[in-house]
Structure 1
Amino acid sequence: MLRSTLLCAALGLLRAQPFPCPPACKCVFRDAAQCSGGDVARLAELGLPANLTHILLFRMGHGALQNHSFSGMTVLQRLMLSDSHIVAIAPGTFHDLIKLKTLRLSRNKITHLPAALLDKMVLLEQLFLDRNELKDIDQNMFQKLVNLQELFLNQNQLAFLPARLFTNLGNLKLLDLSGNNLTHLPQGLLGTQAKLEKLVLHSNQLVSLDAGLLSRLRALKELQLDRNHIRSIAPGAFDPLRSLSHLTLSRNHLEFLPSALFLYSHNLTFLTLFENPLEELPEVLFGKLAGLRELWLNRTRLRTLPATALRALSGLREFGLTLSPRLSALPEDAFRGLASLQVLALHSNGLAALPGALLRGLDGLRRVSLRHNRLRALPHALFRHLRSLERVELEHNQLEALAGDAFADLPRLAEVLLGHNPWRCDCGLRPFLAWLRRHPGLVGRAEPPISVFPRYCSTTPPVEVEAGVLLFMFGLHIGPFCIFSFPLRVFL
């Protein structure tokens, strides 16, 4: 019994002994070291113990990794060597790292990788090569990495990828190729990635999305294609991606979209198409995307919308079609079926008139933005029965008058913005002014008040008004000779 107790005590003392940490490093845990400021080419001189499982090296001096840099470190699992100005790596540098699971070489100056550099890392799960200066990669570079799950090649200078580069990466779940110079992806490049869930391709120079390129990615949930030069997408390109929920196609060169492009993308919840020179949308574009919550079509060349284009988006909550000066008309049924819509942004377009039933059935609508258009008048019942409506933006249009009941029966209405409109200040405006007098707190006050001294009525004969009455209308641009048949003292 005593012998057993003494043995346990001795083992405890051994565990309690301080870790022999090299002078230039910090060792918070027993088997981990953190070092900075040394010479990359002389890492072996740091004296790092061979039984380390985690090594973090950063801000090392300019140089190349040598074959003996990590000799004997057969139990190392995590190696992070970032922000260290590494310019080259000797072919045998990592040959002893047979248990490595994470290798991070981010933010260095690496231009080339030896073909067999990673061949011994069969257990590797994460590989970070991002933010380097790689211009090409040998087609056999990743052939032994059968357990790799995450690969980061973003922000390099890659202009071409061999078709067989990822052939053996059947367990890959995340692939980031963003921020390179890729103009196209060869057929077969993604032919074995049945488990891939996230593919990041934004900020390249891709000019097209060809048929079959994504056909094997049945598990793909997120696809980022924004900020490319894509001019064409093959019909049915997204049909095999039945798990896709997040898709970005914004900031490309798309003028047209194939018919039924998203017909089978039933799980989409996020889609961006803004900042494309779209000339028109096909009559059939979306399927029953009940889960889609936001759709933005800002900065396009659209002149109108097909009447049924959005009909199946029953779960849509926010829709934006803005900053498209060619948009001059909308069909009466453009938003029919969007019962869940809460935000409708149609500002900064070329709309001169609106159909009377444009907003009919949008029972959940809370905010509508129509500012910076060319509207001269509004349909009498445009906002009728929108009992959830809270905010209406109509500033910077060509409105000359509004009906007295334009905003009637809107119990939640909190703000109406009407500034910068050329109001025709005659007696026809009187009913609307009467509504304003009853609801002085609803008109937006973002602009300074404008005072008007009524002089004489534009009707014949003139109607006398109390001299010197000041009309204060916050946010309204009123002409200098407005006349009304009753004193207006209430606009504070």
Structure 2
Amino acid sequence: MWAHLSGVLVLLVLASGQTEAACDCTDTTCNCTGISRVPQDISVPANTTVLNLLNSNIGNFGSFPALAQLQELTLTSNQIDRIQPRAFTPSDHPQLQKVTISNNRINSIQPAAFSELPLLQELSLANNNITSLQPGTFQNLPELRNLSLSYNKIDRVQPSAIDNVPKLQSLDLSSNQIARIQPNAFPSGLVQVDLSSNNITAIDAGAFGNVTLLQQLDLSSNQLRASALLSASVCNDLSSIPGTVDLSDNPWGCDCSGVFPDDLSSCSADIISQIQCTSGGSTSPLTLQGGTVMCSAASVSAYYTPLLLLSVAAMLKNLLM
């Protein structure tokens, strides 16, 4: 009896552990499971426009199957650890507009991996193990607008890493390991840049000087100190950004008894006020008054102390009369 039951259990385990590669297609959308080999395990109609290959065992592939009508491709939650050069080509994928290869094991992207895809607008490589971006990684993508590289291990952005992407508007580099922002690291047409939750301690002069259309810059939850941000060049650069700059949740490391730079008249009050310094055990935002930086608590006390002394003097005079 036990032998019979154990045999049944083995059969059940084997059956549950095996997933046959299969694609379920409705109209022009195909959802495939159990895929481990590309292109061998993929069999979809030639007119497929949306292809989802989720939660499978896809490893590396030299090139993706030619699908002339394909517009959206999702390769989320697989085992991919690198993207080879010309894995996607304009001749095989002329209509491709959106590619998502998130939650994999990608540690490197070879230059020209996505080169010259004429209609690609959105590319997400979030939740991988990418450590650096080589020059020319995203070159010649004339329509790319949104690029997500969040939740990787990128420690720097070289000025030539994101080049020849003329229409790029949104760049998400949040939750990486970037420590320094170098000059001219970003394309000039960017509208939104997310650098939150990194290890940024330094911002070089001119880091955002060429990004003239920027409407939203997120530098929250980094390691910025007041001394680094209050250099005239950095503060002026951030102040020249026409949109909003989020500097919340940084350590700052300053107190209201410290000495602040003499002239920061080109800095905006919004940038200055986001720096929080300690005063009497509590934190106070800085204020900018006539080009002079001071703690709001200090400025308030400086204003009210004479009034308080006058009030006390008047009370004593009345008591003595």
Contact 2:105 2:129 in 1 (8 A): yes
Tell me what 1:282 maps to. 182
Contact 2:110 2:134 in 1 (8 A): yes
State the alpha-carbon separation in 1 of the partners of residues 288 and 278 from structure 2. 16
1:142–1:136 distance in 2 versus 1, CA, 3 Å: closer
Q: 1:125 aligns with which of 28, 42, 45?
A: 28
Higher relative CO (Cα under 8 Å, sequence separation at least 6) belongs to: 2
Q: 2:21 aligns with which of 103, 113, 117?
A: 113
Shift of 1:248: 0.7
Q: 2:145 aligns with which of 239, 242, 245?
A: 245
Amino acid at match of 1:298: S
The structure whose Rg is larger is: 1
State the alpha-carbon separation in 1 of the partners of residues 117 and 242 from structure 2. 32
Tell me what 2:110 maps to. 210
Q: 2:208 aligns with which of 310, 326, 337?
A: 310
Shift of 1:233: 1.9
Tell me what 1:222 maps to. 122
Matched, 1:336 2:237: yes
State the alpha-carbon separation in 2 of the partners of residues 256 and 304 from structure 1. 12
More helix by share: 2
1:138–1:253 distance in 2 versus 1, CA, 3 Å: closer
Shift of 1:186: 3.9
Shift of 1:126: 1.4
Contact 1:316 1:338 in 2 (8 A): no
1:381–1:326 distance in 2 versus 1, CA, 3 Å: closer
Matched, 1:348 2:249: yes
Tell me what 1:433 maps to. 304
User: TM-score w.r.t. structure 1 length?
Assistant: 0.50
Matched, 1:179 2:85: no
Q: Which runs of 5+ in 2 are unaligned?
A: 1-13, 316-321
1:336–1:280 distance in 2 versus 1, CA, 3 Å: closer
Matched, 1:466 2:312: yes
Contact 1:245 1:269 in 2 (8 A): yes
Q: Report Cα offsets for 1:343-384 as digits up to 9, x if no partner.
A: 2222333435xxxxxxxxxxxxxxxxxxxx656465576578
State the alpha-carbon separation in 2 of the partners of residues 350 and 337 from structure 1. 18
Matched, 1:169 2:77: no
Q: What value does the CA root-mean-square deviation take over the aligned residues?
A: 4.1
State the alpha-carbon separation in 2 of the partners of residues 374 and 278 from structure 1. 26
Q: Report Cα offsets for 1:405-442 as digits up to 9, x if no partner.
A: 84579xxxxxxx96xxxx67xxx86544379x9xxxxx
Shift of 1:285: 1.4
Q: Which runs of 5+ in 1 are unaligned?
A: 1-86, 89-108, 353-372, 410-416, 438-453, 455-462, 470-492
- Equivalent residue of 1:336, what SS? helix
Shift of 1:138: 5.6
Amino acid at match of 1:171: Q
- The count of corresponding residues between Structure 1 and Structure 2 is 290
Contact 1:298 1:322 in 2 (8 A): yes
Q: Report Cα offsets for 1:288-312 as digits up to 9, x if no partner.
A: 21xx222121222222111011011
Tell me what 2:56 maps to. 157
Shift of 1:203: 1.5
Tell me what 2:219 maps to. 321
1:288–1:185 distance in 2 versus 1, CA, 3 Å: closer
Tell me what 1:489 maps to. none
State the alpha-carbon separation in 2 of the partners of residues 226 and 183 from structure 1. 13
Please show how residues 37-186 of structure 1 align to structure 2 within 5 Å.
111-113=19-21, 125-129=28-32, 132=33, 134=34, 136-137=36-37, 139-142=39-42, 145-154=45-54, 156-164=55-63, 166-186=64-84
Shift of 1:185: 3.0
Contact 2:38 2:65 in 1 (8 A): no
Contact 2:60 2:81 in 1 (8 A): no
Amino acid at match of 1:205: R
Shift of 1:386: 5.2
Tell me what 1:365 maps to. none
User: TM-score w.r.t. structure 2 length?
Assistant: 0.73
1:304–1:340 distance in 2 versus 1, CA, 3 Å: closer
